[in-house]
Amino acid sequence: MNFFQYLLSGSSWTGSDGLALHVGQHLLYSLISIAIAAVIGIPIGMLIGHTGRGNFVVIALANSFRAIPTFGLLILVVLLTETSWIPVVCVLGVLALPPLLTSTATGITQADQQAVHAARALGMSAGQVLGRVEMPLAMPLVIAGLRSATLQVIATATVGAYVPGFGGLGRPIMDGLRNGNYGQVLAGAVLVAALAILLDLLLSLVGRATGRHLRLKAPRGAPVVEAP
């Protein structure tokens, strides 16, 4: 079965092993992984960027996480725990952590210092300055880090198909390779790319909307960081 026959066939999308289920699983796994990374990375990045302390730690951790072979870590975690989707999602969360952590810390550090000093002069506490001034100004860079993390997780989640019991779009790719159905392999790969592009476009729109909102609220002449 060629690519178009497989992708356009209704039987390929339905059932307990259909593409619709795998797309939903892939999206769910990715969103959970990114949420885990955001819950950990964004608060730590905010604290480091606000205090100016620990930048070396951020760089070291980010480089260390990037150097970790994802597939090797995935196999190690599964062997030490159990065969399920949970350890795979945790590994993907580790992969998404560096771009979120570094982009948040960088965004806070590069926030317009005139606005920060003005907020302090108005009597705002350190927490108010961070939450009401620095973090809104850092949002475009935070969203850029979120986009980078999302693309990495969407692409790498296909590797989870090597783990028994893990679904997602890596499953039709693996099944197609095993059965010699290269139309199925290509369909899975195309759907992974399409999902990554769609989520990146959505986050890009969010970043642009955030940038416009900040330009409207910022004082005239105040610099605003645009999301890449």
Residues 6+ apart with CB under 8 A from 88: 29, 74, 77, 78, 157, 160, 163, 166
Q: Which two tokens stand for residue 138?
A: 């850092």
0.85 exceeded by pTM: no
Cα–Cα distance for residue pair 133/142, rounded to 1 Å = 14
Q: What one-letter code names the amino acid at 134? A: E
Burial of 27 (0-12, 13-18, 19+ CB in 10 A): middle
State the Cα torsion 197-203-205-206 to the nearest 10°: 170
CB 107 within 8 A of CB 137: yes
Of 32, 10, 12, nearest in space to 22 by CA: 12
Burial of 28 (0-12, 13-18, 19+ CB in 10 A): middle
Cα–Cα distance for residue pair 29/92, rounded to 1 Å = 9
Q: Which CATH number fits domain 3-217: 2.60.40.10, 3.40.50.720, 1.10.10.60, 1.10.3720.10?
A: 1.10.3720.10
Q: Which two tokens stand for residue 122?
A: 């108005």
Read off the pLDDT of residues 61-120 as tens digits, 9 standing for 90 and up: 666 766 666 667 776 776 666 667 788 888 888 888 888 988 998 889 888 888 888 888
Instruction: For residue 189, report the phi and psi dihedrals to the nearest 5 degrees.
Output: -65, -40
Phi-psi region of 8 (alpha: psi -120 to 50; beta: other; left: phi over 0): alpha
Read off the pLDDT of residues 23-64 as tens digits, 9 standing for 90 and up: 999 999 999 999 999 999 999 888 888 887 777 776 676 667
Residues 6+ apart with CB under 8 A from 130: 46, 50, 108
Q: How confident is the model at residue 221 (pLDDT cuts 50, 70, 90)?
A: very low
Quote the pLDDT of residue 197. Answer: 93
Residues 6+ apart with CB under 8 A from 216: none
39-53, 70-84, 173-187, 208-222, range with the lowest pLDDT? 208-222
Kindly state the average pLDDT of the residues 124-152.
Answer: 87
Percent of the chain predicted with pLDDT > 70: 81
Q: Where are the domains of the chain?
A: 3-217
